[in-house]
Amino acid sequence: MKYGIIILSLIFCLFSFSGCYADSDLQATQSINLRSVGNARELGGYLTADGKRIKRGVLLRSAALNEISSEDKTRLTEDYHLSVIADLRLSLEAAAKPDPSIEGVKYVNLRVIDEDLFTKELEKKLAVEGTAFERLKVIVDSGIVSYDMYVRFLADEPGKKAYREFFRELIELPAGKSLLFHCTQGKDRTGCAAMLILSALGADEKTIMRDYMLTNDFNAERIESQHKMLLSNGIKESEMGRYMLVLDEVNPKTMTTVLSWLKENYGSPVGYIIKELGLSKDDIEKLKSKFLE
């Protein structure tokens, strides 16, 4: 457990962030304007394949909320009528940097990653002391974080259970209320959840990818700094992508890998949602009725 805590601190704490933004039209459109929370945005406004639009201010996504300001909490409750926070982190992460308690807001911890297996792998592979970069290199070389990690999220039972419960929270969300889902960086477990929601609501792959890659606009300043850090430690440009998977950048290969897996094994993401998460076609119609206009 000792090394599990060390490495979780490295992945999920050392490289965590507060809000920092770069200019882009889509970024401005999707931002929910939280100044103390990183990668904070919404799925509202995107068009679906049949020409409908996702309702604004209802489906919110972000990085961790542990440093949220009182002003931003008020914004979530008063402007967005927040009803549910779905925390997709491991229990170790949630305990280390807990979400705030907000009156009238339900909190659910839906652990996407197999916590026992993850910790055992870490203890076995990461028995290392040293600088942050040396530990980062061990993580990258171990393959724990990889281009096919979203496939593992969706194929393993903990991930299925977490996303199944996540969809139930969406179905049961009261009218006029919002749900905010997040992990630590708001890019991987959260990005996978966003892909599933957008798919269920009828968005095409181009829209899914645009939303996914928007993380790189929200994290632009940190990504630039991290690239410089890696170059200064002798990492070649050809190796940069593997390292940035652990840090604050998303890579389109990670999303295209899981989308290909879903199509090959289930016909589509919606096929996965029905077969593995247990939603019915009626459930999907309920989601569309609730979240589309």
SS (HEC) of 195-256: HHHHHHHCCCHHHHHHHHHCHHHHCHHHHHHHHHHHHHCCCCHHHHHHHHCCCCCCCHHHHH
CATH value at residue 212: 3.90.190.10
Position 4 scores a pLDDT of 46
Position 5 scores a pLDDT of 42
Element (H, E) at 85: strand 82-87
Residue 14 above 50 pLDDT?
no
8 Å CB contact between 189 and 112: yes
For the chain, what is the domain count? 1
Q: Between the CA of residue 64 and those of 224, 273, 292, what are the distances in Å?
A: 21, 26, 27
Output 134 or 158, whichever has higher pLDDT.
158
User: pTM to 2 decimals?
Assistant: 0.89
What average pLDDT score do residues 241-260 get?
A: 95
- Extract the tokens encoding 85: 């926070």
pLDDT band of 130, cuts 50, 70, 90: low
DSSP code for 130: S
CA distance 208 to 134: 34
User: Does residue 124 sit in helix, strand or coil?
Assistant: helix
Output 9 or 199, whichever has higher pLDDT.
199
Determine which of 24-33, 120-129, 142-151, 186-195 has the lowest per-residue pLDDT on average: 120-129
For 216-234, what is each residue's pLDDT tens digit? 999 999 999 999 999 999 9
Burial class (CB within 10 angstroms; exposed 0-12, middle 13-18, buried 19+) of 100: middle
Position 16 scores a pLDDT of 45
Alpha carbon of residue 102 to chain centroid = 21
For 99-119, what is each residue's pLDDT tens digit? 999 999 999 999 999 887 666
Q: Between the CA of residue 113 and those of 36, 183, 245, what are the distances in Å?
A: 26, 11, 16
What letter represents residue 98's amino acid?
P
Residue 15 above 50 pLDDT?
no
Domain of residue 265 covers: 2-291
Residues 6+ apart with CB under 8 A from 5: 92
Position 141 scores a pLDDT of 82
**Which of 216, 212, 196, 194 lies closest to 255 in space, CA to CA?**
212
CA distance 60 to 76: 10
User: Does residue 9 sit in helix, strand or coil?
Assistant: helix
8 Å CB contact between 243 and 184: no
What average pLDDT score do residues 158-187 get?
A: 97
Position 13 scores a pLDDT of 44
Determine which of 91-95, 126-130, 161-165, 172-176 has the lowest per-residue pLDDT on average: 126-130
- Extract the tokens encoding 33: 């304007």
